[in-house]
């Protein structure tokens, strides 16, 4: 039986595209100068993840193993083209702002990876759910990084949402620090690296504490901790280290 809770936890936290797998860093650092851009890119990627997961799952018995990768890429490319045209038609300002990074969703390793590792082996409902959770996790990472960079760089959050996403999103526009002169470094890509590093360290700390807490309750192996990218690795045995010395 499919464990939908496990799939959700993987997509949102444990195996998060950004904080767990360190994938899609190019659009992550390029478009997250504002939270609005991050939200737009995240939603576009989520749509592709869901649609590609469903399509690959439905065709998994038709596509032969020898041509599966080219077939998956073709499916993803068609879906990205549809999303690109849809954004250009219905959210033109956002499409202009994101520019080339919308077509480059095709090269997002996370999408092809989920198609190969999960959707091609699962029924459509599970594949669609996995795409949704992975997409929401990716969107959350983009919005969080964009919000922190925007607050530190300009003192605002979701600036221009009414223009890029439509008038109905105007309520998101907020000035967090009135009269703030700005910190340009945070809006530039180097600032993205700094904020991303801090968030990765925070996730590693939370994972370590969670693992240690579970170990204290006897429900986990205390000799295993999460690394910065969310992969479990054993801690060295201090007794063995002492003997080797």
Q: Which three-class secondary structure string do you get for the chain?
A: CCCHHHHHHHHHHHCCCCCCCCCCHHHHHHHCCCHHHHHHHHHHHHHHHHHHHHHHHHCCCCCCHHHHHHHHHHHHHHHHHHHHHHHHHHCHHHHHHHHHHCHHHHHCHHHHHHHHHCHHHCCHHHHHHHHHHHHHHHHHHHHHHHHHHHHHHHCEECCCHHHHCCHHHHHHCEECCCCCCCCHHHHCHHHHHHHHHHHHHHHHHHHHHHHHHHHHCCCCCCCEEECCCCCEEECCCHHHHHHHC
Half-sphere exposure of 158 (CA within 13 A, CB side): 15
Q: Both 118 and 227 in a single domain?
A: no
Find the mean pLDDT for residues 177-182: 90
Average pLDDT value over all residues in the chain = 87
Please name the residue that has the structure tokens 């530039």: 188
Domain region containing 232: 201-244
Q: Both 67 and 148 in a single domain?
A: yes
Q: Both 152 and 235 in a single domain?
A: no
What pLDDT band is residue 76 in, cutting at 50, 70 and 90?
very high
Q: What is the pLDDT of residue 49?
A: 97
Q: What is the pLDDT of residue 218?
A: 62
Q: What is the pLDDT of residue 194?
A: 94
Counting residues of the chain whose pLDDT is more than 70, the rounded percentage is: 88
Query: pTM of the full predicted structure?
Result: 0.85
Half-sphere exposure of 29 (CA within 13 A, CB side): 16
Instruction: Read off the tokens for 167.
Output: 């008038």
- Is residue 216 in a domain? yes
Number of domains in the chain: 2
Find the mean pLDDT for residues 29-53: 94
The Cα 27–Cα 98 span in angstroms is 9
- 228: which residues sit within 8 A by CB, 6+ positions away? 200, 201, 203, 204
- Is residue 56 in a domain? yes
- Angle CA(240)–CA(225)–CA(144) in degrees, nearest 5? 155
Residue 227 has pLDDT above 80, yes or no: no
- Is residue 193 in a domain? no
Q: What is the pLDDT of residue 214?
A: 83
Which pLDDT tens digit goes with each residue over 182-194? Answer: 899 998 888 999 9
Closest CA to 134 of 3, 245, 21: 21
Q: Both 114 and 233 in a single domain?
A: no
Q: Both 51 and 152 in a single domain?
A: yes
Say which residue, 17 or 232, is predicted with more confidence: 17
Which pLDDT tens digit goes with each residue over 98-137? Answer: 988 999 999 898 999 999 999 999 999 999 999 999 999 9
């Amino acid at each position: 039986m499919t464990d939908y809770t496990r799939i959700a936890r993987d997509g949102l936290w444990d195996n998060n595209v950004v904080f767990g797998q360190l994938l899609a860093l190019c659009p992550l650092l390029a478009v997250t100068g504002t939270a609005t851009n991050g939200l737009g890119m995240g939603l576009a990627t989520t749509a592709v993840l869901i649609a590609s997961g469903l399509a690959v799952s439905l065709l998994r018995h038709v596509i032969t193993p020898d041509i599966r990768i080219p077939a998956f890429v073709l499916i993803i490319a068609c879906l990205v083209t549809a999303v690109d045209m849809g954004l250009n038609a219905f959210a033109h300002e956002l499409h202009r702002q994101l520019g080339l990074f919308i077509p480059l969703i095709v090269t997002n390793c996370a999408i092809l990876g989920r198609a190969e590792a999960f959707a091609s082996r699962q029924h459509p409902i599970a594949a669609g759910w996995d795409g949704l959770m992975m997409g929401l996790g990716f969107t959350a990472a983009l919005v969080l990084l964009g919000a922190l960079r925007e607050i530190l760089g300009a003192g605002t959050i979701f600036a221009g949402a009414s223009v890029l996403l439509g008038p109905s999103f105007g309520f998101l526009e907020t000035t967090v620090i009135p009269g703030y002169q700005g910190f340009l470094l945070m809006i530039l890509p180097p600032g993205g690296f700094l904020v991303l590093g801090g968030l990765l360290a925070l996730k590693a700390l939370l994972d370590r504490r969670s693992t240690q807490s579970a170990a204290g309750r006897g429900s986990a192996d205390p000799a295993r901790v999460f690394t910065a990218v969310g992969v479990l690795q054993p801690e060295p045995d201090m007794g063995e280290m002492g003997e080797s010395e």
